[in-house]
């Protein structure tokens, strides 16, 4: 048990550090714009470079996790993360910053599926939902704290946040080398359930395909919501930066705490399928409500609650996929990362086009996309149950 706790704690720390680094750049971007004389458009491309690199590399990284092992991919990913942060800290030209963000996306593509597969290997069907809930909370917390720590450290120098994150990444890689042991894989008759499909054909296999589409839909909704929240409340309600920080940070913390407290209990009562459906219903309703609320308190209430829906969806879909993946944990982790990245690219781009037409349109469109996800879960229920029965039967044998 102690070994399990140390291993899980280190895996969660690795994820936390990786996603902490993503948020560090946010508070220093205005300063960097002035230092390097870059435009807002360039900043947008700089932000997208991370997600594009993660999108491209994720499928290959997921395959490598299954082939080469979980530990080696985590360690390599953390070292790449450290290098990317050091490069960003030293960069005085925009090309160096782009290389840094691309390397950051590659590191996330390595770390995410490897950690997901590692956790699936060291847990069972009973304690896996709780572990994956912690994993999702670690990611959310990294996103939440990243901008705050970045802003604090930037008081000592614009580049200090990145040197600090780089050092953390290297330390985490060294600790992983010392403390992590490659887990025993949970083999089952997965090859039979795949009906002989190989390579990227597995993506469209009914066993996985609808789950991947739901990941894209929920990630798209969250990306559209978060990307334009600050512009939305600034244009519509004249929120100050401190107001925006309070609402976003408070909502994200509330969502992460709800995730840790509620996810395991709700999963045991409803199961992953129902939780996924109800999370999408809650998210769609609250994203739409953002277009009709007017008072500060109502905006606060809607924003706090909308994060609960998104934060419960992520571990639920990850838990479902890990339960049916058998010895292809790396593959499903890579696809999870890839479809999330695809949404993180397309959500802000489409949202930006719609925002220029009408500030409410991004949220209307996100509501429609999330509602499509709810409809998909209705058709997905029977097939998902059959997949889980197959896995449980193979485990029993």
Q: Classify residue 185 as left (phi > 0), alpha (psi -120 to 50) or beta.
A: beta
> Percentage of residues in the chain with pLDDT exceeding 70?
83
Query: Per-residue pLDDT for 268 more than 50?
Result: yes
Nearest to 182 by CA among 326, 324, 68: 68
Cα–Cα distance measured from residue 20 to residue 377, given in angstroms and rounded to the nearest whole number: 32
Lookup result for tokens 């597969």: 117
- Per the prediction, the chain carries an average pLDDT of 79
Per-residue model confidence (pLDDT) at position 166: 92
Distance of CA 198 to the CA centre of its chain: 26
For range 268-282, the mean pLDDT: 88
User: CATH 1.20.1250.20 region(s) of the chain?
Assistant: 1-185, 188-397
For range 7-35, the mean pLDDT: 78
Query: Per-residue pLDDT for 187 more than 70?
Result: no
Per-residue model confidence (pLDDT) at position 389: 53
Residue 382 makes CB contacts below 8 A (sequence gap 6+) with none
Angle, CA of 11, 14 and 17, to the nearest 5° = 150
Query: Per-residue pLDDT for 138 more than 60?
Result: yes
The torsion angles phi and psi of 102, rounded to 5 degrees, stand at -65, -45
Per-residue model confidence (pLDDT) at position 285: 93
pLDDT-based confidence at 267, cuts 50/70/90? confident
Lookup result for tokens 């060294």: 174
pLDDT-based confidence at 364, cuts 50/70/90? very high
**83, 85, 88, 90: CA torsion to nearest 10:** -70
pLDDT-based confidence at 27, cuts 50/70/90? low
Cα–Cα distance measured from residue 97 to residue 49, given in angstroms and rounded to the nearest whole number: 10
Q: Transcribe 46-63 into DSSP letters.
A: HHHHHHHHHHHHHHHHHH
What is 1-185's CATH topology?
Growth Hormone; Chain: A; (1.20.1250)
Per-residue model confidence (pLDDT) at position 173: 93
Q: Is the pTM here over 0.75, yes or no? A: no
pLDDT-based confidence at 197, cuts 50/70/90? very low
Cα–Cα distance measured from residue 235 to residue 219, given in angstroms and rounded to the nearest whole number: 24
Highest mean pLDDT among 25-39, 139-153, 175-189: 175-189
Per-residue model confidence (pLDDT) at position 71: 93
Tens digit of pLDDT for each residue in 336-363?
Answer: 777 887 887 777 778 777 877 888 888 8
What CATH homologous superfamily does 188-397 map to?
A: MFS general substrate transporter like domains (1.20.1250.20)
Lookup result for tokens 């700089």: 46
Cα–Cα distance measured from residue 4 to residue 27, given in angstroms and rounded to the nearest whole number: 36
For range 170-195, the mean pLDDT: 71
Tens digit of pLDDT for each residue in 141-164?
Answer: 776 677 667 767 777 888 888 898
For range 361-376, the mean pLDDT: 90
**What H or E segment, with its residue span, contains residue 151?**
helix 128-153
């Amino acid at each position: 048990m102690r070994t399990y706790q140390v291993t899980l704690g280190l895996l969660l720390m690795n994820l936390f550090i990786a996603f902490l680094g993503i948020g560090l750049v946010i508070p220093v971007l205005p300063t960097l714009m002035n230092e390097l004389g870059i435009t807002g458009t360039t900043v947008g491309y700089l932000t997208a470079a991370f997600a594009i690199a993660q999108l491209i590399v994720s499928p290959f990284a997921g395959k490598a996790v299954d082939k080469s092992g979980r530990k080696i991919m985590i360690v390599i990913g953390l070292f790449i993360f450290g290098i990317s942060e050091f490069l960003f800290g030293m960069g005085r030209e925009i090309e160096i910053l782009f290389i840094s963000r691309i390397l950051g996306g590659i590191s996330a593509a390595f770390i995410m599926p490897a950690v997901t597969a590692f956790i699936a290997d060291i847990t069972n069907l009973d304690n896996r939902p709780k572990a994956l809930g912690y994993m999702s909370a670690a990611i959310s917390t990294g996103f939440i704290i990243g901008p705050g720590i970045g802003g604090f450290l930037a008081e000592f120098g614009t580049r200090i946040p990145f040197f600090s994150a780089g050092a953390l990444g290297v330390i985490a890689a060294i600790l992983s080398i010392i403390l992590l042991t490659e887990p025993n894989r949970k083999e089952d008759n997965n090859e039979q359930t795949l009906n002989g499909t190989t390579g990227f054909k597995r993506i469209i296999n009914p066993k996985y395909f609808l789950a991947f589409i739901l990941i894209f839909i929920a990630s798209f909704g969250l990306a559209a919501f978060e990307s334009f929240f600050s512009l939305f409340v600034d244009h519509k309600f004249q929120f100050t930066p401190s107001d925006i920080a309070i609402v976003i940070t408070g909502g994200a913390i509330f969502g992460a705490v709800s995730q840790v407290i509620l996810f395991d209990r709700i999963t045991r009562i409803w199961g992953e399928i129902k939780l996924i459906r109800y999370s999408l219903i809650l998210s769609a309703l609250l994203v739409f409500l953002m277009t009709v609320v007017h008072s500060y308190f109502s905006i606060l209430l809607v924003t706090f609650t909308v994060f609960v829906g998104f934060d419960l969806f992520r571990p639920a879909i990850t838990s479902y996929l890990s339960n049916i993946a058998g010895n292809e944990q790396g593959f499903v982790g890579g696809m999870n990362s890839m479809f999330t990245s695809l949404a993180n690219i397309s959500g802000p781009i489409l949202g930006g086009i719609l925002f220029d037409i009408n500030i409410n349109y991004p949220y209307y469109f996100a509501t429609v996309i999330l509602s499509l996800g709810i409809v998909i879960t209705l058709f997905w229920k029977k097939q998902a149950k059959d997949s889980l029965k197959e896995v449980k039967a193979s485990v029993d044998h």
